[in-house]
Structure 1
Amino acid sequence: MLLAAALFGLLGYAALSALMYLRQRDLVYYPQFTRVAAETTDFELRSGEVVLRGWRVNPGRSDALLYFGGNAERVEAWRGPFAQWFGDRTVYLVGYRGYGASEGQPGEQAILADALTLYDEVRRRHPDGDIAVVGRSLGSGVAAYLASQRPVERLALVTPFDGLAEVGQAHYPWLPVRLLASERYPSADYLRGYRGRLLLLRAGRDEVVPARNTDRLLAALPVPPQVVEFPQHGHNDLSEDPRYGEALAGFMR
């Protein structure tokens, strides 16, 4: 009976692990909350076989800013605030694959390739300007990768992590998440060589990214960043604090 119970438990554990592996993209990406009609956008870009769509704010500026949002974030909601905070930059708010009005299905390698395509197009449009990048939550992993592959004048990371697989392991300590994860976004590895200007915004009550995962990212950086703490806020509401916009705007000026 003990052997049968142990075997049953082992099979159950294996089944849960297999389910986690097969459905991990459903746990990482939430595009269903962001979909909008293509005609509401004013910017589009072909990346491989798909068309990415989004919005431009403050067109015509010499300098530019790219924004990569969270896993269920409607990036168009920032058009008004960003127009004020980053008045001297043209801001590009482009949905990931499958998000907003963009075509395709989200996945790490495709999203990272899209980020490079977006950067290269923005560089073409702003040949003499600086390009800054802001990444929030999931987008901090995309922004970190981009900064490891292209010149990024200023990089701001909001509620960032050392790696998405490590965050998943923290939430599911009883599963081998590090072994199962295909969506990894290893930000600490990407940024080990980054020496540009870096701002990090972190929430004191972050219920999504444990503090130790942000601490590990900080420990991996070759140059100490500017850090702004929001001790009374969580992962999703720190942007409601007036200091949020003040920190980003001041850093980008």
Structure 2
Amino acid sequence: MAKTLGVILLLAVCAYAAACVVLFFSQRSLIYFPPRTAAFPAPETSTLAVPGATLLVSERPVDGPKALLYLGGNAEDVSASLPLLARAFPERSLYLLHYRGYAGSTGHPTEAALVADALALFDRVAARHDDIVVVGRSLGAAVAVQVASSRPVGKLVLVTPFHSLRGLAAQQFPYFPVRWLLRDSYDAWRNAPQVTAPTLILAAGDDEIIPAHSTHKLLAHFTKSVATMRVIQETGHNSISDSPEYSRALQWAR
């Protein structure tokens, strides 16, 4: 009996270890869901050459010093946000980054790569425009916080942001040592204290993906008076942008 129990225990340990290995090596397929094609034809597109990839940028040019850099969610085709952003920001040139491996861009997404790419695009945009607003949605909000912590961003808008992907994953997979396994942690809270740009956090009242406490924890890490939060009631994580109140809220950053 003892020998049988020992074998069962050994098999259970091996199965658990194998599951951890699978989770470790497949984790990025659980984080990134790249759309393969752009749904909306942008007025202009450009490419940005970065180490290891060539990135597509959807653009809506406008004469003048004002610009907006948009960083989308983990499964978002950013070109689909172009019409709404064009209406909300008629006086700003728009630059929407297609992440590595996403529609029109080569390479493979990782946290370090996405942040480096966003910084590279910001620097290119800054050579043409003096006043740059950065808007980040969901996963892109975590990237946007890192950009705003090290670049002269005029205003920052974070749509359905989270405190830490590491923390969310630990809740999603409570029986695995996710905090040790995760390679892309997106700990937005670490960079929040370094952000000096006026920041607006837009939360969905019925967000089924990001718990409200995660967004509130992120807000608490910003320096007092830098960030404010607005909740768009009766909207979900993916439907928040369908609300007329969302479009009105974005105009804060005009």
Short-chain TM bin: over 0.9
How does 1:1-253 map onto structure 2 within 5 Å? Answer: 1-34=4-37, 42-126=45-129, 129-224=130-225, 225-249=227-251, 251-253=252-254
| Alignment deviations for residues 45-73 of structure 1 (CA, whole Å, 9 cap, x no partner) | 11124221121114323111100001111
Cα shift at 1:132: 0.9
What number of residue pairs does the alignment pair up?
250
Distance 2:96 2:175 in 1: 37
Question: Would the aligned equivalents of 1:38 and 1:101 in 2 still touch at CA under 8 Å?
Answer: no
Cα shift at 1:134: 0.3
Go from structure 1 to structure 2 and tell me whether the alpha carbon gap of 1:57 and 1:228 turns closer, same or farther (over 3 Å shift): same
Question: Would the aligned equivalents of 1:54 and 1:100 in 2 still touch at CA under 8 Å?
Answer: no
Question: Would the aligned equivalents of 2:39 and 2:79 in 1 still touch at CA under 8 Å?
Answer: no
Go from structure 1 to structure 2 and tell me whether the alpha carbon gap of 1:231 and 1:38 turns closer, same or farther (over 3 Å shift): closer
Go from structure 1 to structure 2 and tell me whether the alpha carbon gap of 1:39 and 1:136 turns closer, same or farther (over 3 Å shift): closer
Distance 1:230 1:8 in 2: 49
Question: Would the aligned equivalents of 1:192 and 1:220 in 2 still touch at CA under 8 Å?
Answer: yes
Question: Would the aligned equivalents of 1:67 and 1:92 in 2 still touch at CA under 8 Å?
Answer: yes
Aligned sequence identity (%): 39
Unaligned runs of 5+ in 1: none
Cα shift at 1:43: 1.6
Output the amino acid matched with 1:51: T
Could you tell me the TM-score, scaled by structure 1's length?
A: 0.92
Question: Would the aligned equivalents of 1:36 and 1:100 in 2 still touch at CA under 8 Å?
Answer: no
Go from structure 1 to structure 2 and tell me whether the alpha carbon gap of 1:36 and 1:88 turns closer, same or farther (over 3 Å shift): closer
Go from structure 1 to structure 2 and tell me whether the alpha carbon gap of 1:34 and 1:202 turns closer, same or farther (over 3 Å shift): farther
Question: Would the aligned equivalents of 2:149 and 2:196 in 1 still touch at CA under 8 Å?
Answer: no
Could you tell me the TM-score, scaled by structure 2's length?
A: 0.92
Go from structure 1 to structure 2 and tell me whether the alpha carbon gap of 1:99 and 1:204 turns closer, same or farther (over 3 Å shift): same
Cα shift at 1:93: 0.9
Go from structure 1 to structure 2 and tell me whether the alpha carbon gap of 1:157 and 1:88 turns closer, same or farther (over 3 Å shift): same
Go from structure 1 to structure 2 and tell me whether the alpha carbon gap of 1:99 and 1:40 turns closer, same or farther (over 3 Å shift): farther
Output the amino acid matched with 2:154: E
Q: Which moved more, 1:51-60 or 1:155-164?
A: 51-60
Q: Report the 3-state secondary structure (helix = DSSP H, G, I; strand = E; otherwise coil) of the residue aligned with 2:58.
A: strand
Distance 1:58 1:130 in 2: 14
Distance 1:172 1:5 in 2: 23
Go from structure 1 to structure 2 and tell me whether the alpha carbon gap of 1:156 and 1:50 turns closer, same or farther (over 3 Å shift): same
Output the amino acid matched with 1:162: H
